[in-house]
């Protein structure tokens, strides 16, 4: 990295495994771009402004758990789609002539999820119903993406709250049968706790189901394995991450 290299990064906590850091630094190296991508492990979102002050060459950053919603009050502007979703995973940093910076938030999870899901539907984007497991920032992008193709969406969480339709204990054979897409947006099953999985009644999963796990480490999560054992189509979140990384770079480098 030269003394004039542009900087990019990822904020979150914890950051034990980062696809983004590896992807972007390999991209910068192979394409001879004078830039570097850092992991910024912030134990509190309140550390954001200090981090920005310490990295005056920062051009943009990604946002992951648990800050996709918490980062919003720190932004000067938010993209229309990100505002609709209520969560941000890409921030563009604009440096003004007076030395100030402006932060604009976007959501590329929406595009990454939608573009990676649609091929699994095999041309049939009508009459789907989905269960979204979890209510964090990523679940909001998944919900809007599914609704954009006309899917009926129900939210599942451990406890009942205003945005939740079912708790895990509510899930019956009929509810599972009535929802052909099940998306895990929780960290359950992420390395190193790979043996864990969302507590849904897997015995009711069939070959007509799609089980999509936003987790990508390990490659085959317990959620996916248990779905595949019942004949379901399964997919992890790696392609979604790759697609959202493409979109992040487009956002950061657009004028």
Q: Which residue numbers are catalytic? A: 68
Q: Where are the alpha helices (DSSP H) in the chain?
A: 19-30, 48-54, 80-85, 109-117, 137-148, 173-178, 222-229, 238-253
Helix or strand holding residue 22 (H, E): helix 19-30
* Contact call for residues 79 and 50 (beta carbons, < 8 A): no
d(CA 228, CA 233): 6
Q: What is the DSSP letter of 47?
A: G
**Could you count the other beta carbons within 10 Å of the beta carbon of residue 33?**
15
Please choose, from the candidates 155, 209, 208, the residue with its C-alpha nearest in 3D space to the C-alpha of residue 185.
Answer: 155
Q: How many helices (H) and strands (E) does the chain have?
A: 8, 12
Which residue in the block uniquely carries the two structure tokens 């989905």? Answer: 130
Q: Is 192 exposed, middle or buried (0-12, 13-18, 19+ CB in 10 A)?
A: exposed
Separation CA 88–CA 107 (nearest Å): 5
CA 91/CA 133 separation, integer angstroms: 26
> Which element (helix H / strand E) includes 184?
strand 181-184
Nearest CA-CA partner of 132 in 202, 200, 183, 179: 183
């Amino acid at each position: 990295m030269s003394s004039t290299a542009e900087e990019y990064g990822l904020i979150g906590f914890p950051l034990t495994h980062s696809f983004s850091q590896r992807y972007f630094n390999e991209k910068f190296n192979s394409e001879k771009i004078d830039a570097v991508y850092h992991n910024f492990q912030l134990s509190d979102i309140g550390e954001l402004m200090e981090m920005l002050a310490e990295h005056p060459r920062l051009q943009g950053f990604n946002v992951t758990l648990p800050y996709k919603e918490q980062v919003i009050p720190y932004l000067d502007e938010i993209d229309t789609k990100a505002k609709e979703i209520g969560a941000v995973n890409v921030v563009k940093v604009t440096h003004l002539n007076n030395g100030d910076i402006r932060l604009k938030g976007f959501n590329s999870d929406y595009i990454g999820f939608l573009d990676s899901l649609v091929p699994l539907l095999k041309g049939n984007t009508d009459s789907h119903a989905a269960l979204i497991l979890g209510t964090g920032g990523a679940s909001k992008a998944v919900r809007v993406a599914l609704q954009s193709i006309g899917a009926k969406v129900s939210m599942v969480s451990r406890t009942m709250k205003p945005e939740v339709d079912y708790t895990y204990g509510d899930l019956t054979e009929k509810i599972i049968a009535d929802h052909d897409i099940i998306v895990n947006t929780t960290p359950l099953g992420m390395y190193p706790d790979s043996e864990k999985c969302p507590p849904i009644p897997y015995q009711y999963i069939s070959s007509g189901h799609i089980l999509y796990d936003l987790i990508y480490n390990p490659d085959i999560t317990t959620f996916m394995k248990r779905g595949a054992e019942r004949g379901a189509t399964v997919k992890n979140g790696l392609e979604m991450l790759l697609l959202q990384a493409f979109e992040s770079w487009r956002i950061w480098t657009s004028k």
